[in-house]
Amino acid sequence: MELYLMQHGTYLSKEIDPDQPLSPVGRDQIRKSATAVRNLGLGFDAIVSSPKLRAMQTAEAVAMALGLPNDCLTLSESVKAMTRPEETMEFLRNLGADSIFIAGHLPNLERLASHLISGHGRLRLGIENGGLLRIDAERLPTDTAQLRWMLSPMQLQLIAGR
């Protein structure tokens, strides 16, 4: 199973917009990251997003870059910021997909990655808005997955061709 984790893009504060959508900078950031996903030739059996607007906008941008319809997105509370990694892994296992893209939040994404790779240890991965990492696992749940690669938003921008 291949898991691709992306933190949503930079977003507006609650004072500006209570729904906290992507900011103009965040939309541009995610558009470039989504273009890089396409340029890398990645494909997904499932695209999962937190129900928060900024995560949904991130997942939709990736789906659009890959030519997928928005109805291919699965919204799930299991990838929200404070969800326990065990709960997220159980949800992902039940999807039955081999290649899953997740648009989510910190600290959930970092805790999930840490749990997949090292069990209960706490890895500090430095996940950034619009960055992408790939983790391979034979099955879920697990604590023996492999971090295959991690790309920063700047690296994705270079892959996107600016």
Distances (CA, A) of 40 to 36, 103, 151: 6, 18, 12
* Residues 6+ positions from 28 with CB-CB distance below 8 Å: none
**pLDDT band per the 50, 70, 90 thresholds, residue 63:** very high
Dihedral of the CA atoms 78, 16, 126, 123 (nearest 10)? -40
Look at residue 121 in the predicted model and tell me its pLDDT: 65
What is the tens place of the pLDDT at every residue in 1-23?
999 999 999 999 999 999 999 99
Domains of the chain: 2-160 (3.40.50.1240)
**pLDDT band per the 50, 70, 90 thresholds, residue 162:** low
Contact 59, 103 (CB under 8 A): yes
| Buried-state track 16-43, b at ≥16 Cβ within 10 A, e below 16 | eeeeebbbeebbebbbbbbbbbbeeebe
Of 31, 20, 23, 19, whose CA–CA distance to 58 is shortest? 31
What is the tens place of the pLDDT at every residue in 67-123?
998 788 999 999 999 999 999 999 999 999 999 999 999 999 999 999 999 987 688
DSSP 100: E
Of 50, 67, 24, whose CA–CA distance to 59 is shortest? 50
Look at residue 11 in the predicted model and tell me its pLDDT: 98
Look at residue 87 in the predicted model and tell me its pLDDT: 96
Of 37, 89, 41, 83, whose CA–CA distance to 58 is shortest? 37
Whether the upstream peptide bond of residue 69 has omega within 30° of 0, thus cis, is: no
Look at residue 114 in the predicted model and tell me its pLDDT: 95
Tell me the mean pLDDT in the region 57-61: 97
What is the tens place of the pLDDT at every residue in 45-55?
999 999 999 99
Look at residue 19 in the predicted model and tell me its pLDDT: 97
